[in-house]
């Protein structure tokens, strides 16, 4: 009995000690879990940004109730924007951008249901984090008073030196350009581009509408890796110099699923551009899709590896065009125009090395060399001339090939024969109408190769 009693006491003691040990361990674990839980609630350093200023009226509650965890979203209304289309919201946009700029992958929101009057502004990215999204669902309008423009500016909304910038949404950028187009003297003679990107990489523009720009609607200058899709550009066909999309010194550009209606080139491709792919685009009214004018004022121009395909062009001055100034140098090469449907286009196919938009241009010997230009499956109607190839006497066009060209005069239009001057290449199939003026082989001049080498 004594042994049994001892054993029972020992057993009770062992159980008691074990329970204490277990309780102690459980409290320690809970404490550790508590520390871990608190650590997980800590706001990452990247979103510890200055709290937005309170807006007015309905915006105060939203701004005050915002938590730091959601501060990667920056709504311009929270920074004092009125969104009534009358009060100048430029300062609010600038402050919202300054805050968003500090946060990687942040989103600046321009909400639907409001109209924002914004004066010329530059969204600079020199010190910005990367991959910022500009969510445009509302409408931004340009001021129509000359006091906002000084003696004239080259752009209205500008994004500069950014890495990974996206503008997307269903919103509208309206340049209210009619006050500029009549040249009444009320506005400066220098007309701004509506939306410009400069010195940026990884640029995406999708979904938005840009309309009634004083001049060019959308410009990319010195940018790489650019994607434009599902946008609408709209201005009257008689609005002067209102290019749809303008590319300059930019590489690796894709433009697709886009509607472009304007008063100048639907797409204008200038010097320094390469690896440009344009497809599934509707163009018209306007001046068509153009490379150039290149080589103006005796400059060197280099454009290469451009593909334009699966495009519809209607009611335009030209269809697919290459235009260069006399006296320039450099080269245009490796160009493909494929599956182009034209309707009521004045001149569907054009190379013009005597381009001149002045009253008079003097004859010069030097020229931008044009070579390796392929036209494949271009069909539809023209109102003046089906094909116009006017190439330099000293630097003729070479390597021009035509396959499945079927162009007919539109009803009621006069008919003019295809025109060729100093143009060498190959007819790979019969054409309608016959393009008998194209020369076979290559010219004897060596100047073409030397101009190629300059690029």
Enzyme catalytic residues: 264, 287
| Under 8 Å between Cβ of 431 and 405 | yes
Quote the CA–CA distance of 394 and 383 in Å, as a whole number: 31
Task: Write out the two tokens for 181.
Answer: 């187009």
Task: Write out the two tokens for 262.
Answer: 């304007």
φ, ψ of residue 183 to 5 degrees: the values are 50, 40
Taking CA atoms, 288 is separated from 278, 385, 402, 406, 433, in Å, by 13, 15, 19, 18, 21
CB atoms near residue 98 (< 10 Å): 17
Sign for the pseudo-dihedral over CA of 148, 138, 214, 274 = positive
Quote the CA–CA distance of 52 and 67 in Å, as a whole number: 11
């Amino acid at each position: 009995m004594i042994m049994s009693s001892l054993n029972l006491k020992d057993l009770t003691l062992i159980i008691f000690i074990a329970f204490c040990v277990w309780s102690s361990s459980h409290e320690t674990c809970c404490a550790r879990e508590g520390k871990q839980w608190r650590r997980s609630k800590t706001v990452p350093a990247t979103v510890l940004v200055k709290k937005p200023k309170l807006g007015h009226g309905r915006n105060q509650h939203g701004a005050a109730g915002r938590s730091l965890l959601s501060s990667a979203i920056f709504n311009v209304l929270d920074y004092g924007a009125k969104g009534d289309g009358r009060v100048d919201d430029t300062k609010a946009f600038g402050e919202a951008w300054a805050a968003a700029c500090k946060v990687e992958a942040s989103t600046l929101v321009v909400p639907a249901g409001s109209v924002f009057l914004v004066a010329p502004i530059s969204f600079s990215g020199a010190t910005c984090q990367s991959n910022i999204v500009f969510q445009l669902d509302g409408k931004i309008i340009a001021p129509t008073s000359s006091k906002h423009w000084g003696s004239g500016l080259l752009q209205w909304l500008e994004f500069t030196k950014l890495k990974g910038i996206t503008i997307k949404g269903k919103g509208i950028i309206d340049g209210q350009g009619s006050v500029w187009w009549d040249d009444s003297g009320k506005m400066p003679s220098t007309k701004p581009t509506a939306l410009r990107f400069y010195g940026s990489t990884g640029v995406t523009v999708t979904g938005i509408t840009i309309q009634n720009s004083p001049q060019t609607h959308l410009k990319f200058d010195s940018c790489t890796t650019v994607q434009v899709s599902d946008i609408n550009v709209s201005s009257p066909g008689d609005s002067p110099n209102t290019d749809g999309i303008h590319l300059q010194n930019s590489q690796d550009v894709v433009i697709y699923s886009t509607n472009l209606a304007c008063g100048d080139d639907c797409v204008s491709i200038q010097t320094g551009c390469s690896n440009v792919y344009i497809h599934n685009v509707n163009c018209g009214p306007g001046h068509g899709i153009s490379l150039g004018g290149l080589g103006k004022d005796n400059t060197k121009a280099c454009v290469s590896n451009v593909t334009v395909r699966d495009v519809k062009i209607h009611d335009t001055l030209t269809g697919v065009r290459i235009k260069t100034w006399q006296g320039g140098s450099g080269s245009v090469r490796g160009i493909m125009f494929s599956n182009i449907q034209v309707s009521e286009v004045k001149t569907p196919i054009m190379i013009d090395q005597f381009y001149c938009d002045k009253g008079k241009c003097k004859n010069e010997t030097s020229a931008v060399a044009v070579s390796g230009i392929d036209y494949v499956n271009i069909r539809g109607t023209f109102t003046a001339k089906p094909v116009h190839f006017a190439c330099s006497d000293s630097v003729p066009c070479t390597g021009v090939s035509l396959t499945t060209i079927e162009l007919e005069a539109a009803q009621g239009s006069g008919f003019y024969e295809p025109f060729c001057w100093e143009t060498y290449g190959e007819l790979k199939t019969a054409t309608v109408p016959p393009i008998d003026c194209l020369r076979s082989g290559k010219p004897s001049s060596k100047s073409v190769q030397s101009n190629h080498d300059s690029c």
